[in-house]
Structure 1
C-alpha cells in the first residue's frame, strides 16, 4: 500500500489513476480545480482519499497545499503531476492571455510542483515524480505551437532535474501518451481565426476540430484504463524510466521524429564540424 498525490484528479487519466489506486487499496491525495467532482469517490472510499480544490497555476496556493498534504498524510510515495489543457491556433492568432495561461498550466505549474515536493521526498529518503507529458513533447503539429512549447519546456526541465535528485532516491518519469479517449478536446482553447491561415495546415487542423465537435479523442486507439494501469505500474520500475510512451501512435510518432532529427543532424554534420578551430 502506498500514498499518491495526484493533480488534475477529477477527469481524464488523472481520474482513472485515482480510481485504480483506490480500488487496489492505496491512499490518494487528489486535488483538482473542481474538487467536488471527486465527492463520489470520497463517499465510496472514505478517509483513503484526501481531496481539496486547487488551481495549480497559483504557486503560493500550490506550495501551501503540498505543505498540508505532507503534514496530514506524513509521507507521499508518488507524485503524479497531471493537470493540463491545450491551446490551438497559429502563432500570430494566439492572444497574449492564452499564451500566458498555457505556459502557466502546462510548464510553470509542474516545475513549481516539483520544486515544492522535492525537498519533502528528499527528506523522507526518496520517492517518485511522474509528469504527464505527451507525444507532443517530442513531435509537433501546426497550430499547436504553444502547447508543444510548454510540453517541450517541461520535458527539458524534468530531464535536467532527474540526475540532480537521483542521488536522493527520487526517480522522475515523463509519461508520453498518444491520443487517449479522455475528452481532452473539450478543454481546448481555440484562437480567433485569421483568413490568411484558412488554406494552410493550421486551417486544416481547425476544420478537423470543428468536424469532431471538439471531441478529438472519440475514436482514439488509446484506452484510458490501460494507460492509467501503465502509469501506476511505472512507479515500481527500477530505475525509473525517464520517458514512457503510451500507445502505438505515440511510439510510432516519436520514433519517426527522433529518426528524422538524427538524419538531419547527420546531413549537416560537415557544417557542424566546419565551425571548429583548425587543428
Structure 2
C-alpha cells in the first residue's frame, strides 16, 4: 500500500488517478478548490481519502496544506503535481490578468508544491514526484504561448530538481500526455478574447480546436493514468514519460528540428570563445 498526495483531483487525470488508487487500497491525500466535487469518493472511501481545499494561486496556503497532510498521514510516498489548466490564444490576445493566473497556477503553484514536499521526502529518506506537463512542455504550439511557457518552465525546473535531489533517494518524473479525453478540451481550457487580425495566424487553429466540442481526442485517460502509476515502481525513476502516439511523434519531430538547427550554429558558437584557450565550463558533470 502506498500513500499519494495529488493536487487537482476533482476532474481529469487527478480524478481518474484518485479513483484507481483508492480502489486498489492505497491512501490518497487530494486537493481541490471545491471539496463537494468529490463527495462521492469521500462517502465511499472514508478515512482512506484525506481532503484539503487548495487553490494553487494561493501560494501562501500551499506549504501549510502539504505540512498538514504529512502530519495527518505520517508518510507520503508519491506527490503528484497535477493541478493546472490551459490558456489558449496568441500572446497579444491574452489579457494581463489571464497571464498572471496561468503562470501562478501552472508554474509558480507547481514549483511551490514541489518545494513544500521536498523537506518531508528528505526526512523520510526518499519518495517520488510526478509533475504533470504535456506535449506542450517540449513542443511550441501557436495559439498557446502562455500555456507553453508555463509547461516549458516547469519542465526546466523539474529536470534540474531531479538532479539536485537524487542523492536523497527522491525520484522525479515529468509526465507529458498528448491529447486525451479529459475535461481539458471540454471546459478545462480557456480561450482568450480574439483579435480579428489573428484569423490568418496559425494560432487560430489551436483556438478552433479547443472550441470544437465535437472533436474526439486520441488518448485514453485511463491507460495514461495506469502508465503514470506504474512509473512509480521503475528504478531509477524515468525523467520523462511521454504518453500518446501524438505526443511521441510531435516531440520527436520538434527535437530533431531543434538539434539540426543547433548543429548549423556550431562554428558560430565555437568562434565566440576567448582566443587564449583558457577557462572552461563552470559546471562539470561526471556522467
TM-score, length basis structure 2: 0.93
1:63 and 1:29 mapped to 2: Cα distance? 14
Unaligned stretches of 5+ in structure 1?
A: none
Q: Any conservation in 1 of the 2:143–2:205 contact (CA below 8 Å)? A: no
CA distance in 2, matches of 1:130, 1:208: 28
The answer to whether the aligner puts 1:107 opposite 2:104 as a matched pair is no
Farther-moved stretch of structure 1 (257-266 vs 199-208): 199-208
* CA-CA distance at 1:221 after TM superposition: 1.6
Is the contact between residue 144 and residue 206 of structure 2 (CA under 8 Å) also seen in structure 1? no
User: For the residues of structure 2 that align with 1:204 and 1:4, how far apart are their CA atoms?
Assistant: 38
Q: Deviations over 1:9-33 (max 9, x none)?
A: 1100111110110111100001111
Indicate the residue corresponding to 2:82 in structure 1. 82
Displacement of 1:59: 1.5
Partner of 1:246: 243
After superposing on structure 2, the runs of 4+ consecutive aligned residues of structure 1 that deviate more than 6 Å are none
Matched position secondary structure for 1:31: strand
* Count of matched residue positions in the alignment of Structure 1 and Structure 2: 275
Q: How does 1:154-165 map to 2 (within 5 A)?
A: 154-165=154-165
- Matches of 1:180 and 1:92 in 2, distance apart? 27
CA shift at 1:56, angstroms?
1.6
State how far apart, in whole Å, the 1-side matches of 2:189 and 2:13 are: 16
**Conserved? CA contact 1:174–1:242, under 8 Å:** yes
Per the alignment, in what secondary structure is the counterpart of residue 200 of structure 2?
coil
- TM-score (normalised: structure 1): 0.95
The CA deviation at 1:231 is 0.6
Aligned counterparts, 1:11-50, within 5 A: 11-50=11-50
Q: How far does the alpha carbon of each residue in 1:121-177 deviate from its partner, in whole angstroms, 9 at most, with x for none? A: 000111001000001000011110000001000111111111111111110100000
In structure 2, do the counterparts of structure 1 residues 145 and 112 end up closer, same or farther at CA, with 3 Å as the change threshold?
same
d(CA) in 2 for partners of 1:207 and 1:251? 23
Give the Cα–Cα distance (whole angstroms) in 2 for the partners of residues 207 and 110 of structure 1: 28
Would you say 1:93 and 2:93 are equivalent positions?
A: yes
Answer whether contact 1:98 1:189 (CA < 8 A) is retained: no
RMSD of Structure 2 on Structure 1 (CA): 1.2
- Work out the CA distance in 2 between the residues paired with 1:274 and 1:27: 57
Equivalent runs, 1:1-279 vs 2, <5 Å = 1-185=1-185, 186-210=187-211, 212-213=212-213, 218-278=215-275
**Contact conserved, 2:2 with 2:77, CA < 8 A, in 1?**
yes
Q: What secondary structure sits across from 1:198 in the alignment? A: helix
The answer to whether the 8 Å contact 2:10/2:32 transfers is yes
Q: Give a deviation string over 1:205-231, Cα, whole Å, max 9, x none.
A: 323333x13x6xx51121111111111
